[in-house]
Protein backbone atom coordinates (compact mmCIF):
# COMPACT_ATOMS: atom_id res chain seq x y z
CA UNK A 1 0.00 0.00 0.00
CA UNK A 2 2.70 2.41 1.01
CA UNK A 3 4.71 1.43 -2.07
CA UNK A 4 1.75 2.23 -4.33
CA UNK A 5 1.24 5.64 -2.74
CA UNK A 6 4.89 6.45 -3.12
CA UNK A 7 4.80 5.53 -6.80
CA UNK A 8 1.81 7.79 -7.46
CA UNK A 9 3.48 10.59 -5.54
CA UNK A 10 6.63 10.15 -7.61
CA UNK A 11 4.87 10.26 -10.99
CA UNK A 12 2.85 13.33 -9.98
CA UNK A 13 6.11 15.06 -9.08
CA UNK A 14 7.73 14.14 -12.38
CA UNK A 15 4.72 15.36 -14.39
CA UNK A 16 4.72 18.62 -12.47
CA UNK A 17 8.42 19.16 -13.12
CA UNK A 18 7.98 18.40 -16.80
CA UNK A 19 5.18 20.99 -17.14
CA UNK A 20 7.35 23.63 -15.46
CA UNK A 21 10.32 22.81 -17.65
CA UNK A 22 8.24 22.94 -20.82
CA UNK A 23 6.80 26.32 -19.91
CA UNK A 24 10.21 27.77 -19.19
CA UNK A 25 11.62 26.26 -22.36
CA UNK A 26 8.84 27.67 -24.54
CA UNK A 27 9.21 31.15 -23.15
CA UNK A 28 12.94 30.97 -23.50
CA UNK A 29 12.89 29.96 -27.15
CA UNK A 30 10.48 32.58 -28.38
CA UNK A 31 11.45 35.85 -26.82
CA UNK A 32 9.32 37.90 -29.19
CA UNK A 33 6.16 36.05 -28.30
CA UNK A 34 5.28 37.83 -25.08
CA UNK A 35 5.90 41.14 -26.70
CA UNK A 36 3.90 40.61 -29.87
CA UNK A 37 1.09 38.47 -28.53
CA UNK A 38 -1.57 41.11 -27.98
CA UNK A 39 -1.06 42.75 -31.33
CA UNK A 40 -0.82 39.53 -33.27
CA UNK A 41 -4.31 38.34 -32.36
CA UNK A 42 -6.05 41.09 -34.25
CA UNK A 43 -3.27 41.99 -36.63
CA UNK A 44 -2.80 38.48 -37.87
CA UNK A 45 -6.23 38.56 -39.44
CA UNK A 46 -5.28 41.42 -41.70
CA UNK A 47 -2.92 39.88 -44.13
CA UNK A 48 -2.40 36.22 -44.65
CA UNK A 49 0.43 36.63 -47.07
CA UNK A 50 2.66 38.91 -45.10
CA UNK A 51 1.76 37.88 -41.59
CA UNK A 52 2.77 34.23 -41.52
CA UNK A 53 4.38 33.47 -38.23
CA UNK A 54 7.06 31.00 -37.44
CA UNK A 55 8.82 30.17 -34.18
CA UNK A 56 12.29 31.64 -34.01
CA UNK A 57 15.01 30.20 -31.81
CA UNK A 58 16.61 32.57 -29.39
CA UNK A 59 19.34 34.76 -30.84
CA UNK A 60 18.63 33.65 -34.40
CA UNK A 61 18.92 37.12 -35.84
CA UNK A 62 21.73 38.25 -33.64
CA UNK A 63 23.86 35.25 -34.55
CA UNK A 64 23.84 35.78 -38.28
CA UNK A 65 24.55 39.50 -38.34
CA UNK A 66 27.37 39.64 -40.79
CA UNK A 67 29.03 42.98 -40.82
CA UNK A 68 28.69 45.04 -37.72
CA UNK A 69 29.01 48.69 -38.57
CA UNK A 70 31.27 50.02 -35.90
CA UNK A 71 31.38 53.75 -35.55
CA UNK A 72 35.15 53.63 -35.29
CA UNK A 73 35.77 52.02 -38.68
CA UNK A 74 33.61 54.41 -40.69
CA UNK A 75 34.81 57.94 -41.09
CA UNK A 76 32.23 60.64 -40.65
CA UNK A 77 33.09 62.38 -43.89
CA UNK A 78 30.00 62.85 -46.02
CA UNK A 79 29.66 64.72 -49.28
CA UNK A 80 28.15 68.16 -48.79
CA UNK A 81 26.15 67.88 -51.98
CA UNK A 82 24.88 65.14 -54.28
CA UNK A 83 28.15 63.84 -55.74
CA UNK A 84 26.90 61.58 -58.52
CA UNK A 85 26.82 63.43 -61.80
CA UNK A 86 26.91 60.81 -64.52
CA UNK A 87 25.22 57.51 -65.14
CA UNK A 88 27.96 54.93 -64.98
CA UNK A 89 26.08 51.71 -64.95
CA UNK A 90 26.59 48.75 -67.23
CA UNK A 91 24.95 45.34 -66.90
CA UNK A 92 26.94 42.86 -64.86
CA UNK A 93 27.95 40.35 -67.55
CA UNK A 94 29.49 38.05 -64.92
CA UNK A 95 26.03 36.70 -64.23
CA UNK A 96 24.91 35.66 -67.68
CA UNK A 97 26.74 32.32 -67.67
CA UNK A 98 25.56 31.19 -64.27
CA UNK A 99 22.96 28.41 -64.21
CA UNK A 100 20.87 29.78 -61.36
CA UNK A 101 20.73 33.14 -63.13
CA UNK A 102 19.49 31.58 -66.39
CA UNK A 103 16.45 30.12 -64.63
CA UNK A 104 15.37 33.47 -63.18
CA UNK A 105 12.26 35.35 -64.25
CA UNK A 106 12.99 38.34 -66.55
CA UNK A 107 12.27 40.97 -63.88
CA UNK A 108 14.72 39.33 -61.47
CA UNK A 109 17.32 39.10 -64.23
CA UNK A 110 16.92 42.81 -64.83
CA UNK A 111 17.22 43.49 -61.11
CA UNK A 112 20.36 41.38 -60.71
CA UNK A 113 22.10 42.74 -63.81
CA UNK A 114 21.92 46.27 -62.40
CA UNK A 115 22.02 45.49 -58.69
CA UNK A 116 25.56 46.86 -58.31
CA UNK A 117 24.57 50.31 -59.60
CA UNK A 118 23.97 52.19 -56.36
CA UNK A 119 23.57 55.88 -57.04
CA UNK A 120 22.28 57.93 -59.93
CA UNK A 121 22.43 61.66 -60.71
CA UNK A 122 19.69 64.00 -59.52
CA UNK A 123 17.39 65.60 -62.06
CA UNK A 124 15.48 67.75 -59.56
CA UNK A 125 16.86 68.64 -56.14
CA UNK A 126 15.72 70.95 -53.37
CA UNK A 127 18.84 71.23 -51.25
CA UNK A 128 17.41 74.01 -49.07
CA UNK A 129 14.45 71.91 -47.96
CA UNK A 130 15.60 71.36 -44.40
CA UNK A 131 16.93 74.80 -43.61
CA UNK A 132 15.75 75.91 -40.19
CA UNK A 133 14.43 73.81 -37.38
CA UNK A 134 12.29 71.01 -38.79
CA UNK A 135 10.23 68.84 -36.47
CA UNK A 136 8.78 66.47 -39.05
CA UNK A 137 9.90 65.73 -42.59
CA UNK A 138 7.18 63.98 -44.58
CA UNK A 139 8.68 61.82 -47.32
CA UNK A 140 6.36 60.36 -49.94
CA UNK A 141 7.16 57.76 -52.59
CA UNK A 142 5.56 59.00 -55.79
CA UNK A 143 5.67 58.43 -59.53
CA UNK A 144 5.67 61.04 -62.24
CA UNK A 145 2.18 60.37 -63.63
CA UNK A 146 0.40 60.61 -60.28
CA UNK A 147 0.38 64.35 -59.80
CA UNK A 148 -3.23 64.15 -58.56
CA UNK A 149 -2.09 62.20 -55.52
CA UNK A 150 0.67 64.71 -54.80
CA UNK A 151 -1.87 67.49 -55.14
CA UNK A 152 -4.24 66.02 -52.57
CA UNK A 153 -1.40 65.27 -50.18
CA UNK A 154 -0.27 68.90 -50.38
CA UNK A 155 -3.81 69.96 -49.49
CA UNK A 156 -4.20 67.50 -46.62
CA UNK A 157 -1.61 65.72 -44.50
CA UNK A 158 1.42 66.85 -46.47
CA UNK A 159 0.66 70.55 -46.10
CA UNK A 160 3.79 72.41 -45.10
CA UNK A 161 2.96 74.34 -41.96
CA UNK A 162 3.71 74.97 -38.33
CA UNK A 163 1.79 73.19 -35.58
CA UNK A 164 2.42 74.75 -32.15
CA UNK A 165 5.75 76.03 -33.38
CA UNK A 166 6.71 72.68 -34.93
CA UNK A 167 7.59 72.91 -38.60
CA UNK A 168 6.41 70.29 -41.09
CA UNK A 169 8.13 69.95 -44.48
CA UNK A 170 7.27 67.59 -47.31
CA UNK A 171 9.20 65.98 -50.18
CA UNK A 172 8.20 63.54 -52.92
CA UNK A 173 10.66 60.92 -54.15
CA UNK A 174 10.63 60.13 -57.85
CA UNK A 175 12.57 58.30 -60.52
CA UNK A 176 11.99 58.61 -64.26
CA UNK A 177 8.87 57.46 -66.11
CA UNK A 178 8.70 53.83 -67.20
CA UNK A 179 7.43 54.60 -70.71
CA UNK A 180 9.18 56.69 -73.31
CA UNK A 181 6.08 58.77 -74.15
CA UNK A 182 5.46 59.45 -70.46
CA UNK A 183 9.01 60.68 -70.11
CA UNK A 184 8.48 63.11 -72.97
CA UNK A 185 5.11 64.41 -71.77
CA UNK A 186 5.40 64.47 -68.03
CA UNK A 187 8.94 65.61 -67.32
CA UNK A 188 8.28 69.26 -68.17
CA UNK A 189 5.10 69.21 -66.12
CA UNK A 190 6.98 67.81 -63.16
CA UNK A 191 9.57 70.56 -63.44
CA UNK A 192 6.77 73.12 -63.51
CA UNK A 193 5.13 71.50 -60.49
CA UNK A 194 8.43 71.72 -58.65
CA UNK A 195 8.76 75.39 -59.53
CA UNK A 196 5.47 76.05 -57.78
CA UNK A 197 5.88 73.81 -54.75
CA UNK A 198 9.62 73.12 -54.44
CA UNK A 199 9.05 69.68 -53.00
CA UNK A 200 10.23 67.24 -55.68
CA UNK A 201 13.35 65.07 -55.48
CA UNK A 202 13.95 63.20 -58.71
CA UNK A 203 16.76 60.83 -59.64
CA UNK A 204 17.72 59.46 -63.00
CA UNK A 205 16.65 55.85 -62.54
CA UNK A 206 13.59 54.03 -63.85
CA UNK A 207 10.66 54.12 -61.45
CA UNK A 208 10.00 50.37 -61.46
CA UNK A 209 8.80 48.16 -58.62
CA UNK A 210 12.22 46.59 -58.10
CA UNK A 211 13.88 50.00 -58.15
CA UNK A 212 11.97 51.06 -55.02
CA UNK A 213 14.97 49.93 -53.02
CA UNK A 214 17.08 52.32 -55.08
CA UNK A 215 14.65 55.02 -53.99
CA UNK A 216 15.24 53.97 -50.40
CA UNK A 217 19.05 54.22 -50.59
CA UNK A 218 18.92 57.47 -52.56
CA UNK A 219 16.64 58.92 -49.91
CA UNK A 220 18.95 57.78 -47.08
CA UNK A 221 21.95 59.32 -48.80
CA UNK A 222 20.08 62.53 -49.64
CA UNK A 223 18.86 62.90 -46.05
CA UNK A 224 22.38 62.35 -44.73
CA UNK A 225 23.65 65.15 -46.96
CA UNK A 226 20.84 67.69 -46.73
CA UNK A 227 18.59 66.86 -43.78
CA UNK A 228 20.59 65.39 -40.94
CA UNK A 229 19.05 67.51 -38.21
CA UNK A 230 15.39 66.88 -38.82
CA UNK A 231 13.83 65.61 -35.60
CA UNK A 232 11.45 63.00 -37.08
CA UNK A 233 10.79 61.49 -40.46
CA UNK A 234 7.50 60.12 -41.70
CA UNK A 235 7.99 58.02 -44.82
CA UNK A 236 5.11 56.51 -46.73
CA UNK A 237 3.12 55.83 -49.87
CA UNK A 238 1.09 58.37 -51.81
CA UNK A 239 -2.22 56.57 -51.25
CA UNK A 240 -2.45 56.61 -47.46
CA UNK A 241 -4.31 58.69 -44.92
CA UNK A 242 -2.02 60.28 -42.35
CA UNK A 243 -2.81 62.36 -39.28
CA UNK A 244 0.12 64.67 -38.48
CA UNK A 245 -1.57 65.91 -35.29
CA UNK A 246 -1.94 62.33 -34.03
CA UNK A 247 1.69 61.75 -34.98
CA UNK A 248 2.72 64.74 -32.87
CA UNK A 249 0.58 63.53 -29.95
CA UNK A 250 2.21 60.14 -30.24
CA UNK A 251 5.72 61.62 -30.40
CA UNK A 252 5.05 63.79 -27.34
CA UNK A 253 4.61 60.65 -25.27
CA UNK A 254 6.86 58.14 -27.01
CA UNK A 255 10.00 59.86 -28.13
CA UNK A 256 13.18 57.77 -27.92
CA UNK A 257 16.50 58.27 -29.73
CA UNK A 258 16.11 55.04 -31.74
CA UNK A 259 12.44 55.42 -32.49
CA UNK A 260 11.22 53.38 -35.44
CA UNK A 261 7.51 52.67 -35.38
CA UNK A 262 4.96 51.39 -37.87
CA UNK A 263 2.95 48.40 -39.00
CA UNK A 264 5.76 46.01 -38.15
CA UNK A 265 5.94 42.39 -39.21
CA UNK A 266 8.10 40.38 -36.87
CA UNK A 267 8.20 36.93 -38.39
CA UNK A 268 7.31 37.36 -42.04
CA UNK A 269 8.42 34.66 -44.43
CA UNK A 270 9.62 35.26 -47.98
CA UNK A 271 6.82 34.47 -50.42
CA UNK A 272 7.59 31.58 -52.73
CA UNK A 273 4.45 31.68 -54.87
CA UNK A 274 5.46 32.90 -58.29
CA UNK A 275 2.23 34.76 -59.01
CA UNK A 276 2.57 36.95 -55.89
CA UNK A 277 3.83 40.52 -56.23
CA UNK A 278 6.34 39.87 -53.44
CA UNK A 279 7.61 36.53 -54.76
CA UNK A 280 11.28 35.89 -54.05
CA UNK A 281 13.10 32.84 -55.45
CA UNK A 282 15.15 30.98 -52.86
CA UNK A 283 18.24 31.43 -55.02
CA UNK A 284 17.96 35.13 -54.18
CA UNK A 285 17.10 34.77 -50.49
CA UNK A 286 17.39 31.34 -48.96
CA UNK A 287 16.47 32.02 -45.33
CA UNK A 288 13.00 31.17 -44.02
CA UNK A 289 12.36 34.45 -42.29
CA UNK A 290 12.82 38.15 -42.82
CA UNK A 291 14.15 40.38 -40.06
CA UNK A 292 11.42 42.56 -38.48
CA UNK A 293 10.38 45.32 -40.86
CA UNK A 294 7.69 47.96 -41.20
CA UNK A 295 5.18 47.86 -44.03
CA UNK A 296 6.16 50.61 -46.48
CA UNK A 297 2.71 52.22 -46.40
CA UNK A 298 3.96 54.52 -43.67
CA UNK A 299 6.28 54.56 -40.67
CA UNK A 300 7.93 57.10 -38.38
CA UNK A 301 11.56 57.20 -37.36
CA UNK A 302 13.85 59.46 -35.39
CA UNK A 303 15.93 61.68 -37.69
CA UNK A 304 19.05 60.53 -35.88
CA UNK A 305 18.58 57.04 -37.32
CA UNK A 306 18.94 58.18 -40.91
CA UNK A 307 22.72 58.53 -40.97
CA UNK A 308 23.19 55.15 -39.30
CA UNK A 309 20.77 53.49 -41.69
CA UNK A 310 22.61 55.04 -44.61
CA UNK A 311 25.91 53.59 -43.40
CA UNK A 312 24.26 50.22 -42.85
CA UNK A 313 22.67 50.26 -46.31
CA UNK A 314 26.10 50.58 -47.90
CA UNK A 315 27.19 47.30 -46.30
CA UNK A 316 24.30 45.36 -47.85
CA UNK A 317 23.41 44.19 -51.35
CA UNK A 318 20.24 45.77 -52.68
CA UNK A 319 17.15 43.62 -52.07
CA UNK A 320 14.15 43.82 -54.41
CA UNK A 321 11.60 44.61 -51.66
CA UNK A 322 12.29 48.04 -50.19
CA UNK A 323 10.50 47.49 -46.83
CA UNK A 324 12.44 44.31 -46.21
CA UNK A 325 15.70 45.98 -47.24
CA UNK A 326 15.15 48.68 -44.62
CA UNK A 327 14.44 45.93 -42.09
CA UNK A 328 17.80 44.43 -42.97
CA UNK A 329 19.45 47.81 -42.38
CA UNK A 330 17.72 48.11 -38.99
CA UNK A 331 19.03 44.69 -38.10
CA UNK A 332 22.58 45.79 -38.88
CA UNK A 333 22.33 48.79 -36.56
CA UNK A 334 20.43 46.65 -34.02
CA UNK A 335 17.38 48.82 -33.77
CA UNK A 336 14.13 47.01 -33.17
CA UNK A 337 11.14 48.44 -35.08
CA UNK A 338 8.05 48.81 -32.88
CA UNK A 339 4.55 47.78 -33.88
CA UNK A 340 1.82 50.33 -33.18
CA UNK A 341 -1.94 49.83 -33.54
CA UNK A 342 -2.40 53.27 -35.06
CA UNK A 343 -0.68 52.17 -38.29
CA UNK A 344 -3.08 50.32 -40.54
CA UNK A 345 -1.01 50.00 -43.66
CA UNK A 346 -2.75 46.79 -44.66
CA UNK A 347 -6.25 48.32 -44.30
CA UNK A 348 -8.33 48.65 -41.13
CA UNK A 349 -9.96 45.28 -41.59
CA UNK A 350 -9.03 42.57 -44.04
CA UNK A 351 -12.33 42.58 -45.89
CA UNK A 352 -11.86 45.30 -48.50
CA UNK A 353 -15.60 45.93 -48.80
CA UNK A 354 -16.19 46.32 -45.09
CA UNK A 355 -17.77 49.60 -44.02
CA UNK A 356 -15.12 49.88 -41.32
CA UNK A 357 -12.58 50.86 -43.98
CA UNK A 358 -14.61 53.99 -44.70
CA UNK A 359 -15.54 54.90 -41.12
CA UNK A 360 -14.27 58.42 -40.31
CA UNK A 361 -14.41 57.81 -36.56
CA UNK A 362 -11.75 55.19 -37.04
CA UNK A 363 -9.55 57.47 -39.09
CA UNK A 364 -9.76 60.14 -36.45
CA UNK A 365 -7.81 58.02 -33.99
CA UNK A 366 -5.28 56.55 -36.42
CA UNK A 367 -1.80 57.61 -37.46
CA UNK A 368 -1.66 56.02 -40.92
CA UNK A 369 -4.25 54.11 -42.96
CA UNK A 370 -3.89 52.43 -46.34
CA UNK A 371 -5.39 52.81 -49.07
CA UNK A 372 -7.31 55.76 -50.46
CA UNK A 373 -7.70 57.24 -53.89
CA UNK A 374 -7.19 61.02 -54.11
CA UNK A 375 -10.91 61.89 -54.02
CA UNK A 376 -11.54 59.52 -51.11
CA UNK A 377 -8.59 60.93 -49.22
CA UNK A 378 -9.81 64.50 -49.60
CA UNK A 379 -13.33 63.53 -48.53
CA UNK A 380 -12.07 61.56 -45.53
CA UNK A 381 -9.76 64.38 -44.50
CA UNK A 382 -12.68 66.82 -44.52
CA UNK A 383 -14.93 64.43 -42.61
CA UNK A 384 -12.33 63.73 -39.96
CA UNK A 385 -11.68 67.43 -39.48
CA UNK A 386 -15.35 68.39 -39.34
CA UNK A 387 -17.62 68.34 -36.29
CA UNK A 388 -17.68 64.58 -36.30
CA UNK A 389 -19.85 62.85 -33.70
CA UNK A 390 -18.59 59.39 -32.89
CA UNK A 391 -20.76 57.06 -30.85
CA UNK A 392 -17.87 55.03 -29.53
CA UNK A 393 -14.64 56.40 -28.23
CA UNK A 394 -11.74 54.75 -29.95
CA UNK A 395 -8.51 55.45 -28.21
CA UNK A 396 -5.38 54.36 -29.99
CA UNK A 397 -2.73 56.75 -28.81
Ligand X SMILES: *[C@@H]1O[C@H](CO)[C@@H](O)[C@H](O)[C@H]1NC(C)=O
Q: Which residues of the shown chain bind ligand X in the complex (CB under 6 A)?
A: 86, 88, 92, 94, 110-111, 114, 116, 205-206, 208, 210-211, 386-387
Backbone torsions φ then ψ of 206, nearest 5 degrees:
-65, 135
Phi-psi region of 264 (alpha: psi -120 to 50; beta: other; left: phi over 0): beta
Q: Is the dihedral of CA 47, 52, 57, 59 positive or negative?
A: negative
Which has the closest alpha carbon to 280: 116, 56, 50?
A: 50
Identify which of residues 210 and 234 has a Cβ nearer to ligand X in the complex: 210
Residue 176 C-beta: closest distance to ligand X, Å: 7
Q: How far is CA 256 from the centre of its chain?
A: 18
Residue 211 C-beta: closest distance to ligand X, Å: 4
Identify which of residues 94 and 256 has a Cβ nearer to ligand X in the complex: 94
Residue 205 C-beta: closest distance to ligand X, Å: 4
Identify which of residues 215 and 344 has a Cβ nearer to ligand X in the complex: 215
Strand pairing of 338-339 and 260-265?
A: parallel
Contacts of 71 (CB under 8 A, 6+ apart): none
Residue 43 C-beta: closest distance to ligand X, Å: 31
Instruction: Say if CB 120 and CB 87 are below 8 A apart.
Output: yes
Identify which of residues 105 and 133 has a Cβ nearer to ligand X in the complex: 105
Identify which of residues 114 and 186 has a Cβ nearer to ligand X in the complex: 114
DSSP 48-59: TTTT------TT
Residue 101 C-beta: closest distance to ligand X, Å: 13
Residue 117 C-beta: closest distance to ligand X, Å: 7
Identify which of residues 94 and 103 has a Cβ nearer to ligand X in the complex: 94
Greatest Cα pair distance, the chain, in angstroms, is 98
Residue 212 C-beta: closest distance to ligand X, Å: 10
Contacts of 77 (CB under 8 A, 6+ apart): none
Q: How far is CA 318 from CA 7, 107, 218, 241, 285, in A?
A: 63, 15, 12, 29, 12
Which has the closest alpha carbon to 234: 278, 170, 290, 329?
A: 170
Identify which of residues 92 and 283 has a Cβ nearer to ligand X in the complex: 92
Backbone torsions φ then ψ of 215, nearest 5 degrees:
-60, -40
Amino acid sequence: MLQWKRRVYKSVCITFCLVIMLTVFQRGTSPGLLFTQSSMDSEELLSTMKRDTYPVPNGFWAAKTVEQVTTASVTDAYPTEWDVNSINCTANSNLTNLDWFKTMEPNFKQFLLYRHCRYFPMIINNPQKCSGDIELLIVVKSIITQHDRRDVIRKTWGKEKEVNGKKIRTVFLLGTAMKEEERANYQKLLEFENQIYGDILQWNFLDSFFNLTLKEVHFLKWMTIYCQHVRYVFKGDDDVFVSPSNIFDFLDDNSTPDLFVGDVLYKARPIRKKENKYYIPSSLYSKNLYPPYAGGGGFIMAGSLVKRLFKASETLDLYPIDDVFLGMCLEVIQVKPILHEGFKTFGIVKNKNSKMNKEPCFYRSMLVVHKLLPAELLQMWELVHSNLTCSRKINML
